[in-house]
Amino acid sequence: MDQHLYNDEHEAFRELCHTFVARHITPFHADWEQAGIVDRAIWTAAGEAGLLGMDVDEKYGGGGERDFRFNAVLDEELVRAGASGVGFGLHNDVVGPYLMDLTTDEQKQRWLPGFCSGEMITAIAMSEPSAGSDLAGILTTARRDGDSYVLTGSKTFITNGILSDLVLVVAKTDPEKGAHGISLLAIERGMPGFERGRNLEKIGLKAQDTAELFFDEVRVPVENLIGAENHGFYHLMQMLPQERLSIAVVAVAACEAMLARTIEYVKGRQAFGRSVGAFQNTRFSLAELTHETTIARTYLNHCVTEHNAGRFTVADAAMAKWWTTELQNKVADRCVQLHGGYGYMMEYPIAKAWLDSRVQSIYGGTTEIMKEIVGRSLGL
């Protein structure tokens, strides 16, 4: 079905992404899964190919095109290839907007060239061991002392946590004020007192480094404050819709990829003298999932258009995130079932897709929190 979202420029960019992924990522991804981390060189290769900072101003080395469809195309191509360990989405879709929209000219000059070249890998650290959904409950503090903040605390589950050179850390600069006393600080690799903990062992996204971070009285110059002091919560609210849209893009692309694989599989697998795809149950299951995925694609494309037009709200993003990621989990589960025992074997891509899917309804805000946001938007 022609969905009218992408034009020829996006399709040309898709070709570039597809070729890049096939050449530079797919042959190595299984090794990176074993290692629990991707090769850093993939980042600079992506930078050279123009796959980082597509929306960053050209004077900083970016693509100069503020159009989320390019981000979505790259996300989709990574999903289709099963390249779930490559954290370009977090870098481009999630951290990028903070560095473009909340920074001073001096900060842009300092960070954006490395952001686009892949020499500076980024992360964002909100979650803590004792506070994930309840962000106002974080314990990390940044006390102002002269021209610096003194940052103390810890973060966990941080994507790109090991590889990152610049981490946007959410900290309390005025603990008395709760959500109105939170700020964002950019912490750079090598700052004294900044240590990485474990690269956490996960059930999926095996090649992605997800780590603990520790801050022991790290002196952060005030020049590394992102946005306004004590406005961190507001800044997060501004930026979370794009993060959640990015997760929804991955969800829908994953549904499409899992269905395509499963349809191929059931055509070839024989049982009781016919293909598994010839059983009515299989046909009905795949018909239902295909229909729901088509609805998801149509809805997602609308969301991307709304986002590009500046009309995509926090509640819109929450709806898109929970609905598409719950669908992804449903599709993953049903597709494993239709593969029978082979669906449980890692040599079949559907097994990895199932494992990679599970976290989608958890990170970026859980389904329950998304429903809370939507409920609140209804005045409830």
Ligand X SMILES: Cc1cc2nc3c(=O)[nH]c(=O)nc-3n(C[C@H](O)[C@H](O)[C@H](O)COP(=O)(O)OP(=O)(O)OC[C@H]3O[C@@H](n4cnc5c(N)ncnc54)[C@H](O)[C@@H]3O)c2cc1C
Q: How far is CA 119 from the centre of its chain?
A: 19
In degrees, rounded to 5, the angle at the alpha carbon of residue 99 between the alpha carbons of residues 367 and 135 is: 35
User: CB nearest ligand X: which residue?
Assistant: 132
Please report the beta strands in the chain, taking only residues with DSSP state E, as ranges in sequence order: 122-125, 141-145, 148-159, 166-172, 182-188, 194-199, 210-221, 225-226, 270-271, 274-275
Minimum distance from residue 195 beta carbon to ligand X (Å): 17
Structure tokens at 113: 């060239």
- The CA distance from 53 to 97, in Å, is 10
- What the block records as the tokens of 170 is 């959410």
Q: How far is the CB of 380 from ligand X (least distance, A)?
A: 13
Cβ–Cβ < 8 Å for 299, 328:
no
What is the C-alpha separation between 361 and 370, in angstroms, rounded?
A: 9
What's the CA gap between 149 and 105, in Å, rounded? 21
Q: Select 213 or 300, whichever has its Cβ closest to ligand X.
A: 213
In the chain, the N- to C-terminal Cα span, in Å, equals 38
For binding to ligand X (CB under 6 A), which residues are involved?
123-127, 132-133, 157-159, 202, 205, 210, 359, 362-366, 368-369, 372
Which of 63, 204 has the CB closer to ligand X? 204
* Mode of pairing for the β-strands spanning 182-188 and 225-226: antiparallel
Nearest to ligand X of 343, 364 (CB atom): 364
Q: Cβ 277 to ligand X, closest distance in Å?
A: 34
Nearer to ligand X, 176 or 201 (CB): 201
Least distance between ligand X and beta carbon 308 (Å)? 24
Nearer Cβ to ligand X (74/124): 124
> In the bound complex, what is the minimum distance in angstroms from residue 204's beta carbon to ligand X?
8
Q: Which one of the listed residues 76, 77, 243, 256 is annotated catalytic? A: 243
Label the pairing between strands 122-125 and 166-172: parallel
Q: DSSP labels for 66-93?
A: --HHHHHHHHHHHHHTT-TT-THHIIII
The C-alpha atoms of residue 318 and residue 367 are separated, in whole angstroms, by: 8
Distance of closest approach, residue 80 Cβ to ligand X, in angstroms: 20
Left (φ > 0), alpha (ψ -120 to 50) or beta: where does 115 sit? Answer: alpha
Catalytic residue check, 15: no
> What's the min distance (Å) between Cβ of 20 and ligand X?
23
Q: What angle do CA 332, 210, 252 make, to 5 degrees?
A: 30
Nearer to ligand X, 182 or 205 (CB): 205
Instruction: Write out the two tokens for 75.
Output: 């996300």
Structural Rg of the chain based on CA atoms: 21
- Residue among 158 and 225 whose Cβ is closer to ligand X: 158
Tell me the catalytic residues: 243
